[in-house]
Each structure stands twice: as C-alpha cells, then as structure tokens.
Amino acid sequence: MDYLPNIIFAVILIAGVGYFARNIKKLIRNIKLGHDVHTSDNKGQRWKNMARIALGQSKMVVRPVAGFLHIIVYVGFVIINIEVLEIIIDGLFGTHRIGLKVLPESVYGFLIGSFEILAVLVLVAVIVFWLRRNITNIKRFKSLKGWPKNDGNIILYFEVVLMCLFLVMNATDTSFQSMNAGNVVSQYISPLFGDNPDTLHLIERTAWWLHIIGILIFLNYLYFSKHLHILLAFPNTYYGKLTPKGQFNNLEAVTNEVKLMMDPNADPFAAPAEDDNADEPAKFGASDVMDLNRIQLLNAYTCTECGRCTSECPANQTGKKLSPRKIMMDTRDRLAEVGKNIDANNGEFKDDGKQLLGDYITKEELWACTTCNACVEACPVSIDPLSIIMEMRRYLVMEESAAPMELNNMMTNIENNGAPWPYNQQDRLNWVNE
Amino acid sequence: MKEQLKVPTMAEYMAEGKQPEILFWVGSAGSYDDRAKKITKAFVKLLNNANVDFAVLGAEESNTGDVAKRAGNEFLFQMQAMMNIEVLNAYEIKRIVTCDPHSFNCIKNEYPELGGIYDVIHHTQYIKELIDAGRLSVKGDTYKGKRITFHDPCYLGRANNEFDAPRNVLQNTNATLVEMKKHKRTALCCGAGGAQMFKEPEKGDKDVNVLRTEQALETTPDIIATGCPYCNTMMTDGIKAKEKEDSIIVLDVAELIANDQD
C-alpha cells in the first residue's frame, strides 16, 4: 500500500493532462475549419516577432502600469512552474523535494527563495488586477458583463489560491524550514501554523496535493476560458501579419474572374477549369467562421479580452456599436458553438440556421469601421480584428449587395466615371486652369 | 495661384519620346474636390519650383479602387487596379508620388500582386527628398514661431510606418511643432477612412472628426497640418463644428511649404 499515493498521483496527472490534450485536439480541429493560409514564409522574421512580442512582452508595456504588472505575473507564472517539475517527480516516485538531492543546498535555496518572492509579487499584482477590474473606472473592464467578467475574476482567484498554497506548502514543511535556505517569505508565515509536527505535516501534504490538483484544474480551465493566450500568444505572434498594416489581401478568386473579364481573347462560354480550384471558397468574403482563415480563428482563441483594441477604436470612442474586442469574442463564441455542433453530430457540422453575420455581428458594427488599424496596433498579441471586419464587408457587398445606399452610389460613380463622385473623367485635369 | 502651373501629361512626354523623373498621381480627391485641388496645386508649385521633370496621367488616370476595396467591393477594386496598371505599365512608369495616403498605400502595397510594381512615395516624403537634395528651399519665415500640430494620416503612419517625413518637412518652416497626446502609432483616425468619407456615420454620441479636433485643440495650435485630402476635409469640418475657424487653419504640409517659398 506504500505506492498508493504514487498511483493516485499518476492517475490524477494522466487524467488532467489527458483531458487537456483532448480539448487541445478539438481546438486544433476547430481552427482547421478555416481556410488554409500561406505562412511558411519569412521564418526568421516570424521567430523574431514571437520572441519580441510574446516572450519579450514588447507591446504590453505600451501601457506601463498594466504592462509592468503583467510582466510580474507572466515571469512569476513561467518561473514558479519550474517548481511543478519537482512536484511531478516527487509525486510519481514518492520522493520529497528531489531538487535537494540533485542540487547543492545553496542553489536549491536560491531557486525556491526566488519563487517565494515572485509568488508574493504575483499576489500583489493579481490583487491590483482585481481592483482594476472590479473597483476602478476603467471602461474596457467596466463594459464587461456576465461570463466574460466572471471569467476574468475566476482566473485571478485561481492565481491567488495557487500562490497561497505554494507559500503554505513551504511554510509547513518542517525539514525545509529547518534548512533555513530559500524560505525567505515562508519563514514569516510558518509561525501561524503552530509547532505540532503532525498538524504541520498534514497541512503541508494537503497544500502540496491541492497545489498540483489546482494547477491541473487551471490547465483544463484554460480551454473553457479567455485565458488561452498564455499558450496561444506564441503561435499567434508567430503567424501575425508581416506585411504593412495598410496592405489588405487581394482575393485570388476575384483576380481570376477580373482577368478573364478583361482578357479580349477569353472565351466567355468556356467551361470553368476543373481540378486544381476544386476546394476554392464558393463564396466571396465571410458570413460564418468557416469562411475565415485559420489565422483569424487562431486570433479568436488567442484573444484574452483585454479590450485595448476597443479602447483605441475611433468608432467605439465616439459611441458607435463597433467593438473590435466583441468581433473577436463573437468569432470565438461562434467557433465554439460550431465545434460543439460537430461533436454532437459525429464529426459532421449540421446546419443550425445560425451564422456569425447577423446572429453575432451586426451590419451596423461592420459599417462603423474606419479601417484605421488602431485595434491592430493596440493588440499586445498581434490579433487582427480588422481582417475579419473586411471579410464580412466583402460578403455583404459581393454576395448580398447590402452596402449602405451612399456607398452603392459611390461605387456606381467609380464604375461609370472613375471617381467616387459623378464627375466626367475627361475633366480630371481641369484643376490646372481653374 | 499667380503664376501659371506647368502640368505636362504622360501622353505629351510619350509624344516627345521622353520619360519624366516621376509620375504625379493626382487621385480622385485631388482632381475634383475643391479643397483638395488647392493641395494639388500647392504641390505642383513645389514641383515646378524644384524643376522636377514630372507628369500626370490626366484623363487617363482613374480611381485607384482603394475606397471600393475598403468598402468590401473587391471586384471593383481589382477592375480599377488592373485598368490603371495597364496604363501605368504601358508608359513604363517606375516612380509615383501622390498627395493621397490612400492612393499611396493602395498602389504601393496592393497593386504589385496584380502586376503593378512601382516605387511609390507620399508627397511629404518627396518634399523631404527635394529639400534634402537642395532642389527645394524653404524660406522659414512665413510660419516662424507659429504652433503647428501634425495629424498623422492612418494610411501613411500606422499603415506604412512613415511618421518622420512630414514632421521633418514641417521643421523647415521654423514653426513650433506640438504633438497631440495621441500621435504617430496611436494617432486617432480623422473618421474618413474605410469609405466613411462617402457615407453618414453610424449612430453614436459624437463624430470622430470632432473628437480628433478636440484632441488637436488641446495643443492650442495656430495650424493643424495634414497630409491627406480626406483628413483635411474632416479636420476643417471639425474646426467649424468647434467654431474655431477664425483662429485656427487646417493646411496640408504641401500648402505650408508652398506658402513659405520665395
């Protein structure tokens, strides 16, 4: 029976990691519902962007207060997780603080000491984050209601609990405390728990188990929350746009048609070429998530709803309905819905009579966009809400002829006389002599 | 303008068997819009003063299709683009300058894939080039000591990372350049982009150009400088909405430099 804890630990670990892996597979399947995009170019630049923006947090610090606090939580999260490695080894092999067996006491003490300091800093940062979200008057947080608001807070509570468990676990570990190296913070908490060795051991074991179970629950919570950015920020910044922000893609399907129209030798009655374009999109633009590309869908899963995009959006700042954050949240919600639909129907999507356009994102939102790229610039993890807005405008105009009337007039003018206003093209040079 | 502007067309150059240094893409606003035409003329005056061998397409120029593309009409955009590319390529155009950041962005970034590959620059970049090369001089006394705030056009700044050229050019006027809180990368749009110029705004509590004008007014400027005909219109309207048209003027960088010539 000595091995019972080891076995229980292994089972919990496998269940936790396994369920997470299963959900990640679903997430990848959902992302692959989007069109394939060419992203094998410029590998050097892409790695550099990932290192600078995701690893280096370069765009977080544009807003210094939030940026600084975020770096603390981020560094804390990454570094304290080294401790998880020890916990897993200890759990599987029944050892206690295996780190002490392989590292000199001074090094081990230094490591744990820095974890403890980071844990306190993370606690402070998380409390400030909670205050910013719930007490202060920051519009981008205040405007969140319901699940998105709770989701944000739940993540903060998780962090508080995990950090406290880590410190309690150290504080009640009598052998660790008696070593007196690395207990820089926990030595001050230690007296709170008295000096009964049995009680201390019980508390230590409980904190240890809750800590690892908490981490596994948190890992699995990610998939259901907005918090996937801690993983997806890396691929997302890697696949981020490399061309100038002003450059919008040219639809290839349109190019083929326009070339055909302008080619005097083209046979207008020719049967369309078969084969190679077989899986070319049947529609122009996007009305649902399947019409978007994989990077746009990855963007949606990566968004952590910080709202920097919306707070920079000129339309939103002037009270219009458009919110780039909502565009991303809607895309994600619809994608999750489609994913559940596929799960429920044996791997096939069954038409549910809903789509991203209309059921989630309204025309009014789409037409309020000035395509100014402020949202794209603001995003700390290279999300491009503008590209989704553009795809949906394309659908509205090219598939539904549903542009606002004034825009239809403008486009008719361009068609007729090569200017957005009804002036004669022959008069283009009149200004010289006016 | 007092003196007659020299504005040769590509057709005339072709007839003489010559190539200009640069093609001036006037753009739809610059050709037809009354306010924008003044910017066009100011820029031509600078080109004439610097003895630049330039040409325009005249009646052979058509809308870039940029605004149709931003409105979602990819068909119309590509039709316009391919027609323009056919003309530009037939004239073997290598270098293009334009006063419109939207044309600039569109021709520079979106035409190449469709077969139109040119060296495209914005007029503020070209004015800087002319000044740096000693071909154009600025007196530096017309606006001396005046407070000028430059409003970054989205499609020059954020979209194409050009923040310095217009500011460098403005420094030649010896005016005091003052920055709005939101400038360069974080500049607020004037409200005209994405085809908004051609439609009524959606329901909201304020117009974007009024908000941007308020941001400009915080710098207590004498002049709001622009680098885009649409921004110019929006900021001018904003100044009117704020009833400041008697004390503050909105001028394009080209106009400011053209007014500061011998």
Per residue in A187-221, pLDDT (tens digit) is: 999 999 988 989 999 999 999 999 999 999 999 99
Of the pLDDT bands very low, low, confident and very high (cuts 50, 70, 90), residue B24 is very high
Indicate whether A177 belongs to any domain.
Answer: yes
Q: In what order do the strands lie in the sheet with B22-25?
A: B54-55, B22-25, B95-98, B119-122
Q: Are residues A18 and A142 in the same domain?
A: yes
ipTM of the complex in this document: 0.95
CATH number at residue A316: 1.10.1060
Q: Are residues B19 and B125 in the same domain?
A: yes
Indicate whether A363 belongs to any domain.
Answer: yes
The Cα-based distances of B184 to A61, A342, B167, B181 in angstroms read 17, 45, 10, 10
Q: Are residues A77 and A214 in the same domain?
A: yes
Indicate whether B245 belongs to any domain.
Answer: yes
Q: Which amino acid is at B93?
A: I
C-beta atoms of B202 and A320 within 8 A: yes
Q: Are residues B142 and B251 in the same domain?
A: yes
Q: Are residues B189 and B119 in the same domain?
A: no
Q: Is the dihedral of CA B69, B73, B76, B79 positive or negative?
A: positive
Indicate whether B210 belongs to any domain.
Answer: yes
Residue A332 to residue B228: CA distance in whole angstroms: 36
Indicate whether A413 belongs to any domain.
Answer: yes
Domain count, chain B: 2
Q: Are residues A203 and A340 in the same domain?
A: no
Q: Are residues A81 and A153 in the same domain?
A: yes
B62, B97, B130 - which closes a domain: B130
Of the pLDDT bands very low, low, confident and very high (cuts 50, 70, 90), residue B45 is very high
Interface test with B, best of A254, A256, A258 (most B CBs within 10 A): A258
Indicate whether B4 belongs to any domain.
Answer: no
For residue B71, give the nearest of A322, A407, A419 by CB distance: A407
Q: Which residue of B has its CA nearest to A411?
A: B68
Task: Using an 8 Å CB-CB cutoff, list chain B residues near A397.
Answer: 71-73
Q: Are residues A148 and A207 in the same domain?
A: yes
Domain count, chain A: 2
Comparing A265-274, A410-419, B144-153, the range with the smallest average pLDDT is A265-274
CATH number at residue B39: 3.40.50
Q: Which residue of B has its CA nearest to A257?
A: B75
Comparing A99-108, A306-315, A402-411, the range with the smallest average pLDDT is A99-108
Of the pLDDT bands very low, low, confident and very high (cuts 50, 70, 90), residue A81 is confident
Task: Using an 8 Å CB-CB cutoff, list chain B residues near A244.
Answer: 105, 108-109, 159-161
Q: What is the pLDDT of residues B71-98, one digit of tens each?
A: 999 999 999 999 999 999 999 999 999 9
What are the contacts of A183-187 at 24+ separation with CB within 8 A? A183/A112, A183/A113, A183/A116, A184/A113, A184/A116, A184/A117, A185/A116, A185/A117, A185/A119, A185/A120, A186/A116
Of the pLDDT bands very low, low, confident and very high (cuts 50, 70, 90), residue A276 is low
Indicate whether A301 belongs to any domain.
Answer: yes
pLDDT at residue A278 greater than cutoff 90? no
Indicate whether A9 belongs to any domain.
Answer: yes
Q: Which residue of A has its CA nearest to B194?
A: A370
Q: Is residue B68 within 8 Å of A411, Cβ to Cβ?
A: yes
Could you give the angle at which helices B164-171 and B123-132 cross, rounded to 10 degrees? 50
Task: Using an 8 Å CB-CB cutoff, list chain A residues near B9.
Answer: 429
C-beta atoms of A377 and B186 within 8 A: yes
Residue A184 to residue B215: CA distance in whole angstroms: 50
Q: Are residues A69 and A118 in the same domain?
A: yes
> Any CB–CB contact under 8 A between A415 and chain B?
yes
Q: What is the pLDDT of residues B162-203, one digit of tens each?
A: 999 999 999 999 999 999 999 999 999 999 999 999 999 999
Indicate whether A341 belongs to any domain.
Answer: yes
Q: Are residues B121 and B158 in the same domain?
A: no
Domain range for B15 is 10-130
Indicate whether A355 belongs to any domain.
Answer: yes
Neighbour tally for B220: CB within 10 Å: 11
Indicate whether A302 belongs to any domain.
Answer: yes
Mean pLDDT of A51-71: 94
Interface test with B, best of A243, A323, A364, A411 (most B CBs within 10 A): A411
Q: Are residues A291 and A163 in the same domain?
A: no
pLDDT above 70 coverage of chain B, percent:
99
Would you state the pLDDT for residue A233? Answer: 97
Domain range for A73 is 4-31+63-227
Indicate whether B5 belongs to any domain.
Answer: no
Q: Are residues B122 and B157 in the same domain?
A: no
Q: Are residues A15 and A156 in the same domain?
A: yes
Q: How many CB pairs under 8 A join A and B?
A: 217
pLDDT at residue B1 greater than cutoff 50? no
Would you state the pLDDT for residue A273? Answer: 57
Q: Which amino acid is at A415?
A: E
Indicate whether B171 belongs to any domain.
Answer: yes
B130, B146, B167 - which closes a domain: B130
pLDDT above 90 coverage of chain B, percent:
98
3-class secondary-structure state, position A347: coil
Would you state the pLDDT for residue A245? Answer: 97
What average pLDDT is seen over chain A? 93
pLDDT at residue B233 greater than cutoff 50? yes
B93: Cα within 13 Å, side-chain hemisphere: 30
Q: How far is B29 from chain A (nearest CA, A)?
A: 8
Give the helix/strand (H/E) hosting B250: strand B249-252
Q: Are residues B121 and B154 in the same domain?
A: no
